[in-house]
Structure 1
Amino acid sequence: MPITMSLREAVLHKVHGKSKSGMRDMIEGSIDAQEAALPGLGVVFEVIWKNIDNAKQDELLSVLQGELEQTNLTPLK
C-alpha cells in the first residue's frame, strides 16, 4: 500500500536529520534552481518563521523589504 504525504511532510522528511552542511547544500542548491524547488524553500522558511521570536521576524522582514526595493521589476498590467 503506497504511503501518501503532503508536500510539507515530504520536504520535512527529506531534510530531517541533515547536518548543517547538508541543509546549506539543499538550500543553496534550490536557490535560482527550477521553480519546482521553491515549495521546498517555502517549507524550510515556514519552520524558521515559526521558531524565531518577533525581533528576528522583524529583522528578516527588513532584509526582505530592503532587497525587494532594490529589485527592478516590470509592473504588471
Structure 2
Amino acid sequence: MDLNLRNAVIANVSGNSKEELEATISDAIQSGEEKMLPGLGVLFEVLWEKSPESEKEEILTTLENGLK
C-alpha cells in the first residue's frame, strides 16, 4: 500500500470520536465500493498495531469464525 494513501487515511480520521469512526467504518462497508477497502485496511493496521496480544488472539478468532 502506498505510504501516501496510508498517511492520507490517518490524517482524515485523526481526532475523530468513536461515533465518527464507527460511522466511517459503517459507511465504507455499506457502500460496498472497492475503493473503500484500502482505508479499512489502514484502520485495521492501526487496530492491529495498537492491540495487546490477547486482543490480537480475539481478533484472529473472530476473523477465523467469520470466514468459515
Q: TM-score, normalised by structure 2?
A: 0.90
Residues paired across the two proteins, number: 65
**Greater RCO (CA < 8 Å, at least 6 residues apart):** 2
2:26 corresponds to which letter in structure 1? Answer: E
What is the Cα deviation at residue 19 of structure 1? 1.1
CA RMSD of aligned residues (A): 1.1
Question: Of 25, 28, 44, which residue of structure 2 is paired with 1:30?
Answer: 28
Q: TM-score, normalised by structure 1?
A: 0.80
Once residues 48 and 67 of structure 1 are traced to their aligned partners in structure 2, the CA distance between those partners, rounded to angstroms, is 18
> Which structure 2 segments of 5+ residues have no match?
none
String of CA shifts for 1:27-70, please: whole Å, max 9, x gaps: 0001142010000000000001000111110110001001101x
The equivalent of 1:44 in structure 2 is 43
> Which structure 1 segments of 5+ residues have no match?
70-77
Is the radius of gyration larger for structure 1 or structure 2? Answer: 1
Runs of 4 or more off by more than 4 Å in structure 1? none
- Please identify which structure carries the higher helix content: 2
2:65 corresponds to which letter in structure 1? Answer: G
